């Protein structure tokens, strides 16, 4: 069972409409699930998702010798020609850094603010990092992949699609009757056993993205793994205690939602004011267990 699960509730399903069909598989250290409103088009949707996954891997898998990211790192400060997907991923990461005031910095082993010195398109089609710096694109690359997979799958399959990866999800195309019913879990260990007391059901109708972030577990080394957890390590790990156990955000895209929930953890007590200034709907769970919703966070339409 995923920390982020689609849930069916018979009272919300159109009479006579087929139930959405799903297929799950391991991806990038988490479980991915593609769900379609038309069961006979699940295969087409999965093919589109696989195409996106291969494209992202070719662009930013740091351990894949021929990837754009590996070549940029190996260039040691020289310009490198990269593909369109890498360009899009890098611009996404830089935008996240900009809107969070540098808190979502994609550069590792670099001075604070060095992300502003990344050179793009000089010469055209190239990228150049500051000497000695490396990129960690996964905090934004994963939600980018979720958005692109949902959009491409909906277009290829010609139906509504929900694509989730761990605690990230995006919906595209026409939703099922009543909307997409998703269970947001705060504690993945509790969610795995199906007994998360702080989880909530939400209903998504329009194309959008949703993400939940949590600080790294105390027992997990801060250096472990790439992705959102490592970014949260960099942002929150030096603080003795953060006020939020988890932050969940609904936004126009999974990229925006993921950036915002990660930044909310870094903003700490200032998270509410920052989320309000961005016009985002969010759900914050305090370390003491109480829940605070911000903006237009969707109400729970069904029990979890």
Domain boundaries, the chain: 52-139
User: CA–CA distance from 24 to each of 100, 113, 118, 189 (Å)?
Assistant: 32, 39, 37, 19
Alpha-carbon distance of 168 to 166, in angstroms, equals 6
Order across the sheet with 180-184: list the strands: 4-6, 180-184, 200-204
What tokens appear for 255 in the block? 């990229």
Per-residue pLDDT at 66 = 86
Residue 198: predicted pLDDT:
62
Are 85 and 244 contacting, i.e. CB atoms less than 8 angstroms apart? no
User: Under a CB-based contact definition with an 8 Å cutoff, are residues 136 and 106 in contact?
Assistant: yes
Query: What number is the average pLDDT over the span 101-106?
Result: 88
Task: Say whether pLDDT at 175 is over 90.
Answer: yes
pTM: 0.85
What integer best gives the mean pLDDT of the chain?
Answer: 83
- Strands, E assignment, 147-280: 161-165, 168-172, 180-184, 200-204, 208-213, 244-251
Give the CB-side neighbour count of residue 3, counting CA atoms within 13 A: 20
Instruction: Name which of 217, 189, 204, 219 is nearest 254 in CA terms.
Output: 204
* Token couple for 44: 């087409």
Confidence of residue 8 (pLDDT cuts 50, 70, 90): very low
Collapse the DSSP code of 74 into the 3-class scheme (helix H, G, I; strand E, B; otherwise coil) and give the result: helix
Assign 21 a pLDDT band (cuts: 50, 70, 90): very high
Residue-wise pLDDT tens digits, 221-268: 433 333 444 444 455 444 445 799 999 999 999 999 999 999 999 899
Do residues 193 and 298 make contact, with C-beta atoms less than 8 angstroms apart?
no
User: In the predicted model, what is the mean pLDDT of residues 174-179?
Assistant: 89
């Amino acid at each position: 069972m995923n920390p982020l699960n689609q849930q069916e509730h018979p009272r919300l399903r159109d009479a006579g409409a087929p139930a959405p069909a799903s297929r799950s598989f391991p991806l990038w250290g988490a479980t991915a699930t593609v769900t379609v409103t038309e069961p006979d088009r699940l295969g087409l949707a999965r093919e589109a998702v696989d195409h996106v996954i291969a494209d992202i891997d070719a662009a930013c898998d740091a351990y894949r010798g021929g990837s754009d990211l590996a070549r940029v790192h190996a260039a040691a400060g020289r310009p490198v020609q990269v593909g369109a997907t890498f360009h899009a991923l890098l611009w996404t990461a830089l935008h996240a850094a900009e809107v969070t005031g540098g808190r979502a910095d994609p550069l590792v082993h670099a001075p604070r603010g060095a992300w502003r010195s990344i050179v793009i398109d000089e010469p055209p089609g190239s990228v150049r990092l500051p000497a000695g710096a490396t990129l960690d694109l996964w905090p934004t690359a994963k939600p980018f992949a979720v958005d692109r997979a949902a959009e491409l799958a909906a277009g290829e399959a010609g139906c509504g699609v929900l694509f989730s990866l761990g605690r990230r999800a995006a919906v595209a195309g026409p939703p099922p009757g009543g909307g997409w019913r998703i269970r947001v879990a705060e504690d993945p260990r509790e969610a795995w056993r199906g007994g998360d007391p702080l989880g909530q059901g939400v209903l998504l109708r329009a194309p959008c993205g949703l993400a939940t972030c949590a600080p790294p577990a105390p027992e997990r080394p801060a250096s472990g793994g790439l992705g959102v957890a490592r970014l949260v390590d960099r942002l929150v790990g030096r603080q003795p205690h953060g006020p939020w156990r988890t932050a969940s955000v609904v936004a126009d895209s999974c990229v925006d939602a993921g950036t915002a929930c990660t930044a909310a953890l870094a903003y700490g007590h200032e998270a509410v004011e920052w989320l309000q200034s961005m016009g985002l709907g969010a759900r914050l769970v305090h370390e003491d267990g109480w829940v605070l919703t911000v903006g237009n966070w969707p109400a729970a339409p069904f029990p979890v």
